[in-house]
Amino acid sequence: MEKIVESFELYGKEYRLETGELAKQATGAVLVTQGETSVLVTAVVSKQQRDYDFFPLTVDFIEKMYAVGRIPGGYLKREARPSEKGTLTARMIDRPIRPGFPDGFKNEVHVVATTFVADQVNPPDTICVAGASAALLAGGAPFDGPAACVRIGRDKETGEFIVNPTYAEQENSDLELTIAGTADYISMVEAGAHEISEEDMLAAMTFGQEAIAAFCEKQAAFLAKVNPTPLPYVVHVPDPCIAERVGAYYDAMAAALKDADKQARMGKVDDLKAQIKEESFSEEERGAWASDINAACKALEKRAMRAMIIETGERADGRTPEEIRPLHIVPGYLPRVHGSGLFQRGQTQVMSVCTLGMLNEWQRLDTIEPVDGKRYMHQYNFPPYCTGETGRMGAPKRREVGHGALAERALLPVIPDEDSFPYAIRVVSEVLESNGSSSMASTCGSTLALMDAGVPISAPVSGVAMGLIKEGDDVVILTDIQGIEDFLGDMDFKVCGTSKGITALQMDNKAKGLSVEILARALKQAHEGRAFILDAMLEQIPAPREEMRETAPRIETIKIPVDKIRDVIGSGGKVVRGIQEETGASIDIQEDGTIHVGATSGTAMQAAKDIILGIVKEPEVGEIYEGEVVGIKDFGAFIKLTPGKDGLLHISRVANGRVAKVEDVLNLGDIVKVEVLEVDPKNGKISLDRLDKPDAPAGSSEPRGERREHRERRDDRRGGDNRPGRSGREARTPRRRHEAN
């Protein structure tokens, strides 16, 4: 196959799609480029069908450090487990392309996006969706495309939308909306925002849909050049008698679903499914049609649940579509930790815990993104026991990383900046029970934990998950969906925000034909749900606590001249380590001379500050110090005024009266009270006077006449000239330079 290239410009940026030269053994391979950022996206579709009751799609996003000209950190010096950003990007590719495959397609599909170049100007993530779509279609896979993904920013000053903003453009944006789908429908939305209104969010989504259509048109032009041949993949069609036999149990399934308790309802449904298999199928049929029977039972459960809501307006747990489950909210649930909050909504329960630390405890990131790290970290854990199951616990899975990132995105806009609150902040959400939208419970619980810790967030944040049941023209929007409504419904739409506006949003859509009007209704209903939950939270803790826990560190900030930083650090860090060991405080020194001092004890805090300020303090004329004698010379003693500055106390000022030797009055280690007499403006040398002068000790000085007689006797013994400069020398007769011969 010859190399095929499609270059185009959209919304002020250059793009390129290429195929036919790289990775030719893959089913499809496309090199997609924005600016100089290039990602190779490959798709492989297995030739064999698998006996699964789900679609076996795997997506990997591979961050290569050579793409940014760096060698990976660590001992192995090679890329290992994906970063959090890499995991989120893989999820972002998976979610919009998964709905594009037909029901019953059971061939394994593996999509791999490998970063070749990351130019540090254009992010590599959004273009991967177009690359995956083009690779699948170029390979002839049965994919309903083209599909594309765009990021929408909004200029803070002009209010104009920006398509696929650069990193620099995103810095000046109050919105980060990532939206994916086809020219006809939206399948995935992720958003972070600075409290923007529902109307503005809806406008951005509408604009994003138009941009997606433009990119799909360019992709179609590329595929027309490729002219792929559809491969003969078989879509599995189960025997029609399976659905017919299972469908006979519709009334029984509808009855089993009507139970508010998740475990009890699941038990009834599982028992019914086992009964269906036992009564309606022979042992031989159960062996041959195992996955088809499971899929038919699941389809029956889905049909019964959806019909119940569409026809009666009643949900499985008896709620109306707009009703929120009972709330249980407890801020400050745990002792000693810096902040905690228990949030429970129905059978979803989350404990969030906040920990405060020094700024040097921020999370450092080793990725291809031009971001060094972050000081606010949110982590989410979903152990097996939260759903009453057994399982293996280990590294966080993609779902856990994604849910933690959503809660982090929701709260980040209200976190105070480090100038006003110089702390690193870590929040961990432990899911203790789960039956729908544990990520939104994490957002609410984390707001409680931050407020309990005394973090001065600009506004409290609440979140709610919305669902959708769509059958033809019949549409029902559900507030606060539970697990069954998520699994068997058409949409999972999570919305977070303050009373002023939206801070984060995430949507996965399984229903084609999701209109802007439906999204508008969902956003309005979500706003009402968020407000209800937020009011309940504020009844328990109306504002961040004014005082932090005694166990939390107190951090104060001081500023020193940049040229004094080396004095505070000392050779090899000796000085700063000594201060920390002596006081027990933690010290973080910035390149601009900002120093953050943290300690749980006010005494330790003040002691560390005093030492640092003493090091950088420049003594001034008239100031009085009590300093240690750190050096003695014939002409005087050096007194330590500050940890980095000594002054000279001349021998004439160590005592009242004349002193022959400094040691007659002072010894090393003595503490003396001195006043600064003079500071030389050229070299900074300091002259001191002693304020508590003692009288010179007897014998320390001889009278003037005795000293003269002593000198004369000494010179007589030497027999020399007593004149100055002639002591100890013999008399000489001058020689003439020119004597007569």
d(CA 119, CA 137): 27
**Whose structure tokens read 């790289």?**
22
* Phi, psi for residue 625 in degrees, rounded to 5: -130, 155
Cβ atoms of 140 and 229 closer than 8 Å: yes
Q: At what angle do helices 438-452 and 398-411 cross, to 10 degrees?
A: 50
Q: At what angle do helices 516-540 and 438-452 cross, to 10 degrees?
A: 40
Q: Which long-range contacts (CB under 8 A, 24 or more apart) does 661-665 make?
A: 661/634, 661/700, 662/632, 662/633, 662/634, 662/636, 662/637, 663/632, 664/696, 664/697, 664/700, 665/694, 665/696, 665/697, 665/700
**Residue of 169, 174, 476, 455 whose CA lies nearest to 307:** 476
Q: Which residues contact 335 (CB under 8 A, 6 or more apart)?
A: none
d(CA 356, CA 421): 10
Containing 388, the helix (H) or strand (E) segment is: none
**Residue of 343, 336, 333, 325 whose CA lies nearest to 446:** 343
CB count, 10 Å around CB of 469?
A: 24
- What residues pair up with 467 in beta bridges, in sequence order? 478, 492
Q: What is the DSSP letter of 651?
A: G
Exposure of 497 in the CB half-sphere (CA atoms within 13 A): 29
Containing 312, the helix (H) or strand (E) segment is: helix 290-312
Q: Could you write out the three-class secondary structure of 102-130?
A: CCCCCEEEEEEEEEEECCCCCCCCHHHHH
Task: Retrieve residue 286's tokens.
Answer: 């159960």
Establish whether 492 is an annotated binding residue: yes
Cβ atoms of 616 and 560 closer than 8 Å: yes
Q: What is the CA radius of gyration of the chain?
A: 39
Residue type, 182: T
* Phi, psi for residue 252 in degrees, rounded to 5: -65, -40
Exposure of 91 in the CB half-sphere (CA atoms within 13 A): 22
Annotated binding site: 486, 492
Annotated binding site for Mg(2+): 486, 492
